[in-house]
A = this chain, B = another copy of it.
Amino acid sequence: MPPFERHIFICCNQREAGHPRGCCDPAAEDALQKAFKKALALRGLNKRVRANRSGCLDQCEHGPTVVVYPDGVWYGRVTHDDVDEIIDRHIVGGEPVERLRLPDACINTPACAHKPRPAPQAPEVPEAVKAP
């Protein structure tokens, strides 16, 4: 048997309620990971594809995050309703689910459209040029 054809990492990181970065698994039950695992087993794929719990994937502002390797395809705001589509279209069909995909520009960056940088401080104006 070859190594896993695909390895799906599902963020199960927990943070306290109200944390500004959000939390991928507020119920701390690994429910999304278990849903992937069950969907793979139902299709007989669980010996070839692994649905793995993961610590923080550091894409917190994009909601519950999933990354599929070796493809390197990242998904954000993944819900239980998306699991079958990711498995059937991407894992079985080889075609990433574009509507859920995080663009490269959103990953591993300090700021993107979903991860706003704090508003810049107004530059200090020297006394000499201030209006009287």
Complex formed: what's the CA distance from A7 to B3 in Å?
17
A window 22-49: CB within 8 A of B: 30, 33, 47-48
Copies in the complex: 2
Q: Does A20 contact B (CB under 8 A)?
A: no
A107 touches B69 (CB 8 A): no
Which of B1, B55, B70, B108 is A54 in contact with, Cβ under 8 Å? B55
Complex formed: what's the CA distance from A1 to B115 in Å?
14
Contacts of A7 in B (CB 8 A): 67, 69, 72
The number of chain A residues touching the other chain, given as a range, is 20 to 34
With A9-B9, A55-B52 known to touch, is A72 a contact of B109 (CB < 8 Å)? Answer: no
A9 touches B70 (CB 8 A): no
Q: Does A132 contact B (CB under 8 A)?
A: no
Q: 21 interchain pairs (CB within 8 A)?
A: A2-B108, A3-B72, A3-B74, A3-B104, A3-B108, A4-B108, A7-B67, A7-B69, A9-B9, A9-B54, A12-B55, A30-B55, A33-B55, A50-B57, A52-B54, A52-B56, A53-B55, A53-B56, A54-B55, A69-B72, A70-B72
